[in-house]
Amino acid sequence: MQHSPKIFRRYGTPFFLSLMVVVWMFLFPGNRLLLAQNNQIDSLHQVLEHTEDDSSRAEMLLEIGSAYDQIDPHKFIEYAEEAMDYF
């Protein structure tokens, strides 16, 4: 017969798993940050689609690139290079 840890005997497995999920969410908030950043990037892409002026398009491309800076540095460089085409 195996002995289960004290926390399992006192609170049960579902409580322990729920506690672990909550702790994980506080220790690793990156997932929520990525979702928020993706929403921002999507919004910037929508604005870019309706932007006709070259200098405004360059600014929007730099904004999108800045949003990618922490997520994907390669995309940051791609958008910066594309913005340079408008200058």
pLDDT, tens only, 57-81: 999 999 999 988 878 889 999 999 9
Alpha helices in the chain (DSSP H): 6-11, 13-27, 30-49, 54-68, 73-84
> CA-CA distance, 38 to 68, in Å (whole number)?
9
pTM over 0.85: no
> CA-CA distance, 1 to 74, in Å (whole number)?
55
> Per the domain annotation, does 64 fall within a domain?
yes
> Per the domain annotation, does 1 fall within a domain?
no
Query: Total structural domains in the chain?
Result: 1
Tell me what pLDDT residue 5 has: 60
Q: In whole angstroms, how far apart are CA 72 and each of 17, 39, 40, 59?
A: 32, 15, 14, 19
> Per the domain annotation, does 26 fall within a domain?
yes
Tell me what pLDDT residue 57 has: 92
> Per the domain annotation, does 18 fall within a domain?
yes
Q: Which domain holds residue 37?
A: 6-84
pLDDT less than 50: residues of the chain:
1
